[in-house]
Structure 1
Amino acid sequence: MNFAPLTTAAIAVQIHACLAFFAVALTIAIFSIPRGSRLHRWFGWTWVLMMVGVALSSFWIFEIRLIGPFSPIHLLSAYVLVQLVFAVRAARAGRIQEHRKSMKGMVFGALVVAGAFTFLPGRVMYQVVLGG
């Protein structure tokens, strides 16, 4: 691993990558503790704040430009911000199935799938992990 591409990247990329990395780690922790527990709620709120940071920081990353300065990933970020509100509201209203579905969807779409795209040749994380 070579962290130089990340440490020399724009600050928005560094913030985005750091928050996403910690959100993935926290996801694993959340899935391994009892649902609805105090710790689950505390970790959950922390995860939500991290994902807000991940989504917002993406609006200052313009490496892929398809529509002006934006790319489809920016649509995903807007979607995540809306979904976070719906997922939290569902949990607070006791609609746990809806909450669970929203959160699992965000983990898969925003962390797993979008995260996989960061490992394409030419992207910062590809350079960090594979040395491109």
Structure 2
Amino acid sequence: MSLQPLLDAPLAVQFHVATVVPAAILGAFIFLRPKGTAIHRLLGRIWVTLMVMTSVSTFFIHELRMLYGFSPIHLLSVLTIYGCLQSVLFARRGEIRRHMRIMQSVYLGGIVIAGGFTFVPGRIIHEVAFGDGQPGLVVLFAGVFVFALLSLTVFTQRRRTS
């Protein structure tokens, strides 16, 4: 376990991690909290801002060059930005079910699935987590990942029963 690969990474990667980690934690927290409250709206605005900043930062990261310097992750970034904007629009229109479904999808795709790709060998987070064989950071990342999945499950189940 070593943060050195992240500290040695380009500024765009560091910025990306600095926005996505709080977005992952805040998003899971929002899913567990009551909806429609003033605090939900405030935290939601912060989360959407973090997600858009995270997504925009990917356009300055070109580690996986597949097509003109871009990869499928960049497409996911476009979908995340679009989803965030659409979801805010639906919430303002009072279309809460659509807002909820889109936000769940954005979290699942933009945090959970995209986050899973960062653990592929050769990626910086893989080096951070598995570089020297120490389990400390691996446990932290696994805990955040499991917490995010459990949060989505709890949120989905809670909505189905209400």
Q: TM-score range by the shorter chain?
A: over 0.9
Q: Deviations over 1:43-79 (max 9, x none)?
A: 0000000001000000000000000111111111111
Q: Show structure 1 runs of 4+ deviating over 3 A.
A: none
| Paired residues for 1:1-132 under 5 Å | 1-131=1-131
Normalising by structure 2, what TM-score? 0.79
Secondary structure at the residue paired with 2:120? coil
Q: For the pair shown, which has the larger CA radius of gyration, 1 or 2? A: 2
Which structure features the higher share of helix residues?
2
Secondary structure at the residue paired with 2:60? coil
Shift of 1:93: 0.5
- The percent identity for this pair of structures is 40
User: Aligned letter for 1:30?
Assistant: I
Shift of 1:17: 1.0
Q: Where does the alignment leave 5 or more consecutive residues of structure 2 unmatched?
A: 133-162
User: Aligned letter for 1:10?
Assistant: P
Distance (Å, rounded) in 2 between the aligned partners of 1:63 and 1:54: 16
User: Aligned letter for 1:38?
Assistant: A
Shift of 1:81: 1.1
Normalising by structure 1, what TM-score? 0.97
Q: Where does the alignment leave 5 or more consecutive residues of structure 1 unmatched?
A: none
